[in-house]
Amino acid sequence: MQNTMQQNTPQATSPRPGEMPPDGTQMAKAANGNMSAETPRQDAQNRDAQRQNAQAQSRARDAVRPPVDVFESEQGITLRADLPGVPRDKLTVRVEGDTLTIEGEAVLDLPGQMEAVYAELRSPYYQRSFTLSSELDTSRIEAGLKDGVLTLTVPKHEAAKPRKIEIQAG
């Protein structure tokens, strides 16, 4: 099993939903087995990538799925997500292929020496993904964030908008 793992290409992107991310220990063993072929710089890059990957994995595990409203009109799809505590610079909206992913990190004003007494929200990470259909024009997505509410509008391709087809007589 371990021999089939890629040894020299550290995985820098976070895993797609549903995909099992590579096991960190397997990657470490593979890297050690090939020590002579890697420079110290590549080694450090591998370790960084492993750490980022491990961080991304643990964030994905702890992340909260934000509640979402999705509605469709003739123009396209509108999505609203509740992301309390997330400022604009901690929000990521990305499209990879046909998958739309929303990620955010909440930033709270926490005075020092605070002891948590009661917590209903236990993670500052939000994450949710959606699969978009092909008639949606992902290059024209618009996003707005106000008071923790993210509004995304995804228009349809011009050609995909509903058109009435005239029925010719005779």
Partner 1 sequence: MRGSLTSFPGSLFSEFERLSRELDQRFEPWAGPANIRAVARGSFPALNVGLCPDSVDVYLFAPGLDPKSVDVSLEKQVLTVSGRREAGLPEAARAYLQERFDGEFRRTLTLNEDVDPERVEARYQDGVLHIRAHRREATKPRQIAVQ
Interface residues toward partner 1, by CB under 8 A: 1-2, 18-20, 23, 26, 67-73, 78, 80-87, 106-121, 146-149
At 116, the amino acid letter reads A
Confirm if 100 and 93 have CB atoms less than 8 A apart: yes
Tell the smallest beta-carbon distance from residue 73 to partner 1 (Å): 5
Cα(124)–Cα(43) distance, rounded to whole angstroms? Answer: 32
125-131, strands of its sheet edge to edge: 91-96, 99-105, 125-131
Tell the smallest beta-carbon distance from residue 26 to partner 1 (Å): 7
Tell the smallest beta-carbon distance from residue 139 to partner 1 (Å): 22
Name the residue nearer to partner 1 (CB basis): 138 or 153.
153
Chain center to CA of 57: 11
Tell the smallest beta-carbon distance from residue 150 to partner 1 (Å): 9
Confirm if 151 and 144 have CB atoms less than 8 A apart: yes
Name the residue nearer to partner 1 (CB basis): 122 or 164.
122
Cα(108)–Cα(87) distance, rounded to whole angstroms? Answer: 10
Name the residue nearer to partner 1 (CB basis): 1 or 169.
1
Name the residue nearer to partner 1 (CB basis): 85 or 125.
85
At 78, the amino acid letter reads T
